[in-house]
Amino acid sequence: MSEFKVTRYKLRAEESGRRGPDAPFSLVVLSDLHNKSYGDRNGRLLQEIREQNPAAVLVAGDMLTSSDSPQYDAAVSLMDELTKRYPVYYANGNHEQRLKGCPEKYGDSYARYSDTIRSFGVHLLENGCEHVEFWHMQVAIWGYELPLECYRRGRMRALAAGQVESALGERSQKEYNILLAHNPMYFPAYAAWGADLTLSGHMHGGIVRLPVLGGVISPQFRLFPKYTRGLYELDGKKMIVSAGLGSHTIPLRINNPAQLVVLDIV
Ligand SMILES: [Fe+2]
């Protein structure tokens, strides 16, 4: 039976120059489930999330896997259960984007998936933003869709902060900006755009982790990618990369447990 580990991060909103909440609160971050189920209808994952008592659930993409016949029953049932208890903010990963961008290959899979989870009340942020208040702390939650060519194998495509802004618009001046951006490799562009906190996944922790060297390989088969798992900082901006909950293509994790990320915001 494979399991996951809970990793907590404490974040002080005032470090970003924003007003913090009147009382601490938690957010749960899900990434890269790839349609895996921990128990029937993800019962064990849901139980752990309930124990964290989050104010909201944030999804950083790849809840399903694009394939010739994409399966997303576990992802759908998880969204169904989560939305009964929490607001859920969801940004697509490359797998959802592939379904959306290639209807000639995947038919209406994306329309059916996205319509279904929206019908539950999921806030699907396709280059969009929702404004939320948690205990008087003003938060803008953004979902960014990176151009699909940035996920291709081979040489890494460049991305400028201006491209993030042309997709999303200007970041909020008054609110704490949380950016759900599936691919962490473009952290400099996200930070330059103005994300106070970026939440990413995609790297599956580097699949195999070595002491000192960290994650070995990215899903694009790049060796020793820079951002694979954990907290990173750049010019006062933060990024947390989840090692994800599932896997695909290389169904392997060595020294790299699946992960449920919990943020404690104070
Ligand atoms: Fe991904």
pLDDT in tens, 25-69: 999 999 999 999 999 999 999 999 999 999 999 999 999 999 888
pLDDT at 82 over 80: yes
Q: What angle do CA 239, 244, 249 make, to 5 degrees?
A: 125
From ligand 1's centre to the CA of 219, what distance in Å? 7
From ligand 1's centre to the CA of 233, what distance in Å? 22
DSSP 104-149: HHHTTHHHHHHHHHHHHT-EE-SSEEEEEEETTEEEEEEEE---GG
Residue 246: name the closest of 47, 75, 94, 116 by CA.
Answer: 75
CB of 90 closer than 8 Å to CB of 78: no
pLDDT at 100 over 70: yes
From ligand 1's centre to the CA of 72, what distance in Å? 15
Cα separation, 109 vs 66, in Å, equals: 9
pLDDT at position 217 is 82
pLDDT at 109 over 90: yes
pLDDT at 114 over 50: yes
From ligand 1's centre to the CA of 156, what distance in Å? 15
Average pLDDT in the chain: 93
pLDDT in tens, 161-199: 899 999 999 999 999 999 999 999 999 999 999 999 999
From ligand 1's centre to the CA of 14, what distance in Å? 31
Helical H runs in the chain? 43-52, 73-83, 94-101, 103-106, 109-120, 161-168, 187-193
From ligand 1's centre to the CA of 112, what distance in Å? 20
From ligand 1's centre to the CA of 62, what distance in Å? 5
Backbone φ and ψ of 253, nearest 5°: -140, 120
Cα separation, 227 vs 104, in Å, equals: 33
From ligand 1's centre to the CA of 182, what distance in Å? 7
**More reliable by pLDDT, 75 or 225:** 75
The three-class DSSP label of residue 90 is strand
CB of 144 closer than 8 Å to CB of 159: no
Label residue 205 exposed, middle or buried (CB < 10 Å: 0-12, 13-18, 19+). Answer: buried
CB of 180 closer than 8 Å to CB of 89: yes
Q: CB-based contacts of 135: which residues, under 8 Å, 6+ apart?
A: 21, 22, 23, 25
CB of 145 closer than 8 Å to CB of 153: no
pLDDT at 1 over 60: no
Domain count, the chain: 1
Backbone φ and ψ of 146, nearest 5°: -70, 145
Range of 123's domain? Answer: 4-265
The CATH number of the domain holding residue 236 is: 3.60.21.10
Largest CA distance in the chain: 50
- What is the mean pLDDT of the segment spanning 17-29? 95
From ligand 1's centre to the CA of 229, what distance in Å? 13
- Amino acid in position 191: A
> What pTM was computed for the model?
0.95
| pLDDT band, very low/low/confident/very high, at 208 (cuts 50, 70, 90) | confident
Q: In the structure, how many helices (H) and strands (E) does the chain have?
A: 7, 14
From ligand 1's centre to the CA of 170, what distance in Å? 25
pLDDT at position 2 is 62
From ligand 1's centre to the CA of 135, what distance in Å? 32
Query: Which residues are bridge partners to 234 per DSSP?
Result: 237
Could you tell me what percent of the chain has a pLDDT over 70?
Answer: 99
